[in-house]
Chains A and B, each alone.
Chain A
Amino acid sequence: MTPGATSRQREPIDWSQLWAPGPRRVFTAEELARAGGDAPSRTLVVMVAINLALLVFPVLQAVPPEALPRVSALVIGVAVAAFTQALRLWRRPSRKALLLHSWFGLLAYWAFVFALRWRVDDPVQRRWVLGVGGAALVLCMVGFWFVTVYRAHQIEARLRELDERQRVADMARQLAAAQIQPHFLFNSLAALEHWVQAKDDRAAPMLSALTGFLRATLPLFDRRLLRLGDEAKAAERYLEVMRLRLGPRLRFSVELAPDAAEAMLPPGVLLTLVENAVEHGIVPQVSGGEVVVRSWMDDKEMTLEVSDTGQGPPDEVAEGTGLSNTRARLQQAFGTRARLHLCGTPEGGCVARLTIAPADGSAMKG
């Protein structure tokens, strides 16, 4: 999936391909090392050799005996040279290299023609050597062009695949990092340790809330979609841990309509919104505040709201990795059907509102 749809405009014709054919993309050394370090496959080499032999054999049959030594030497010489050059193009497929090789081949042919005039008197031999040499030149040029274009496409496709794989891995890693925030974990463990040592009654509920949170969070990483109701359990455990830690500074409520709880969402969406509300809405407030999670279905459209009574949304849209990652995963799962919007509430807090339109678009009518 590439971001940005293909443009509707017709692609302009690149006339420069007429006199300088070849791939337009120029690979950097780093890109070549990443995606172009391999040698041509053995199958490819053997197939090219067999095809060449099949092509050369009938030609050699037709050559008059007196021209045979020279023509054979020419064919072998050209084949070896062409193969070496083709390998270089394979390693660094570029338009510039292709152009240089073509010019070099043409120059070599002209030099060869002049040399023939001086050294070979027999017109039959001359005609054969010239003809086979010319055919070899054309063959080489086509071969070079093919190698360059094929190889450039191959490397480009590989780079794209590697990038995509990297992006998916990055997103998964960011999700993992966002969900198991070491800061949250260690602060909670610190509180727990103290309450255990001090024989405080809050130790037991803290331990069970933290355990519940971890148990509900760990399956997040290997699922593509998760029931909202299941993730809400993890979010509630998280809020309980934070309420134990912050005391009366945090109040919260979670209210899911039964049909909305069945909605399937990419894992981590609700948790990210709740964590944002606590971290940016409640914790910075000296007097704390309230987090309210609500979800409902309205004519097949699902709405999930997480609101806090903090300072309101940031002035400029400088979203953290958690939120942008959430957006990316929503987009991957629902395309344009999912809308995530952050705005201020009349009371001065912040509300994150996620709506997911039904797939058939029946809710779009009104």
Chain B
Amino acid sequence: MSPVTALIADDEEAPRGQLRAALAQAWPDLRIVAEAVNGVDAWDAFLEHEPQVCFLDIRMPGLTGIDVARRIDGQAQVVFVTAYGDHALAAFDAGAVDYVLKPVDSVRLGQAVQRVQTRLAQARGPGEPAAADLAALLSRLAGEMSAGQRRSTTLEVIQAGVGKEVRLIRVDEVVYFESDARYTRVVHDGGEALIRTPLKELLAQLDPQRFWQVHRSVIVAHRHVATAVRVDEGNMHLTLRGRPEKLPVSRHFQGLFKGQ
């Protein structure tokens, strides 16, 4: 049996190191495939490596741990790592959420690890979407956290350098974004452009009501989507209104298009 894979995300280096050391004791077989320093990276690393367990700090820049857990949507076991005094703890104690406190205590971590192992043994094949009550709890917490934050930065205009000019592209006009090596390709009503902002950072600034991520490297404005076509087991693509391109939908996002 291949070892269980894990992701660790914390914006501070010390707690990441501590958790890594504590996990080496509590779960020697665990293979940590990625470490992320903020929520945006954590989400991207999740899509890239598809780890089975994610240890997420709650307060992270870009996306909070709660936001990342909502996106993971039950596709991996999530254990929150947080400091004493976090107001989310009150909600966690009531619900079925796994968490460990910083500084990580080996006994408490051992218990969390055991629960995760039990659940991994029960789940066969790809995990089912998160239980409805857990999803509701996370969405409520996400709302509370964003209410306490400063201005929510929803991107309205994208600046793209094309030759000697800088073109301003309204986000409303964008059809899709695609990451392309070191650049992000912006395809819009009036053509296309390349920008330097990585796709994963754009994602945190886009209105999730209008833009859907459908692949690690593709974000699409859903009003331009015409059909979702299942090619075979595990493969799906989108066709667009009035455009010839076909966009891939990776496995994690296929749940977005399930028909009524």
Chain A residues engaging chain B, CB cutoff 8 angstroms: 181-183, 185-187, 189-195, 197-198, 200, 202, 245-247, 249, 280-281, 283-286, 310-315, 318, 320, 350
CB distance from B156 to the nearest CB of A (A): 14
CB distance from A305 to the nearest CB of B (A): 18
Are A283 and B59 neighbours in the complex by a CB distance under 8 Å?
Answer: yes
Are A284 and B150 neighbours in the complex by a CB distance under 8 Å?
Answer: yes
Q: How far is the CA of A283 from the CA of B59 in the complex (A)?
A: 9
Q: Among B11, B40, B103, which residue has its beta carbon within 8 angstroms of that of A189? A: B103
Q: Among B40, B62, B102, B151, which residue has its beta carbon within 8 angstroms of that of A190? A: B102
The residues in B between 40 and 60 inclusive whose CB is less than 8 angstroms from any CB of A are 40, 59
Chain B residues engaging chain A, CB cutoff 8 angstroms: 11-15, 17-18, 21, 38, 40, 59, 61-62, 83-86, 101-104, 147-151, 153, 201
Q: A197-B21, A284-B150 are in contact. List 13 more A-B contacts (CB 8 A).
A: A182-B84, A183-B84, A183-B85, A186-B84, A186-B101, A187-B12, A194-B17, A198-B21, A245-B14, A283-B61, A286-B62, A314-B149, A314-B151
Are B14 and A191 neighbours in the complex by a CB distance under 8 Å?
Answer: yes
Q: How far is the CA of A62 from the CA of B6 in the complex (A)?
A: 104
CB distance from A320 to the nearest CB of B (A): 7
Q: Among B38, B83, B86, which residue has its beta carbon within 8 angstroms of that of A286? A: B38
The tally of CB-CB contacts under 8 A between chains A and B is: 84
CB distance from B67 to the nearest CB of A (A): 12
Q: How far is the CA of A65 from the CA of B5 in the complex (A)?
A: 110
Pairs across A and B, CB under 8 Å, 16 listed? A186-B84, A186-B101, A186-B102, A190-B15, A190-B18, A190-B103, A194-B17, A194-B103, A198-B21, A249-B11, A280-B149, A284-B61, A285-B61, A311-B151, A313-B150, A350-B150
Are A194 and B150 neighbours in the complex by a CB distance under 8 Å?
Answer: no
The residue in A194, A281, A310 that gathers the most chain B C-beta atoms within 10 A of its C-beta is A194
Q: How far is the CA of A146 from the CA of B127 in the complex (A)?
A: 77
Which chain B residues lie closer than 8 Å to A202 at the CB level? 14
Q: Which residue of A lies closest to B84 (CB)?
A: A186
Q: Which residue of B lies closest to A206 (CB)?
A: B14
Q: Which residue of A lies closest to B37 (CB)?
A: A286
Which chain B residues lie closer than 8 Å to A245 at the CB level? 12, 14
The residue in A247, A284, A285 that gathers the most chain B C-beta atoms within 10 A of its C-beta is A284
Which chain A residues lie closer than 8 Å to B85 at the CB level? 181-183, 185-186
Are A311 and B150 neighbours in the complex by a CB distance under 8 Å?
Answer: yes
Are A284 and B149 neighbours in the complex by a CB distance under 8 Å?
Answer: yes
Q: Among B17, B83, B101, B153, which residue has its beta carbon within 8 angstroms of that of A311? A: B153
Which chain A residues lie closer than 8 Å to B61 at the CB level? 283-286
Known contacts A194-B17, A194-B18; A283 and B11 CB within 8 A of each other: yes
Are A182 and B83 neighbours in the complex by a CB distance under 8 Å?
Answer: yes
Q: How far is the CA of A109 from the CA of B83 in the complex (A)?
A: 74
Are B153 and A194 neighbours in the complex by a CB distance under 8 Å?
Answer: no
Known contacts A189-B103, A286-B40, A286-B62; A312 and B86 CB within 8 A of each other: no
CB distance from B161 to the nearest CB of A (A): 20
Q: Which residue of B lies closest to A177 (CB)?
A: B85
Which chain A residues lie closer than 8 Å to B84 at the CB level? 182-183, 186
Q: How far is the CA of A197 from the CA of B38 in the complex (A)?
A: 24
Are A197 and B18 neighbours in the complex by a CB distance under 8 Å?
Answer: yes
Which chain A residues lie closer than 8 Å to B17 at the CB level? 194, 198
Which chain B residues lie closer than 8 Å to A285 at the CB level? 61
Which chain A residues lie closer than 8 Å to B13 at the CB level? 247
Are A186 and B83 neighbours in the complex by a CB distance under 8 Å?
Answer: yes
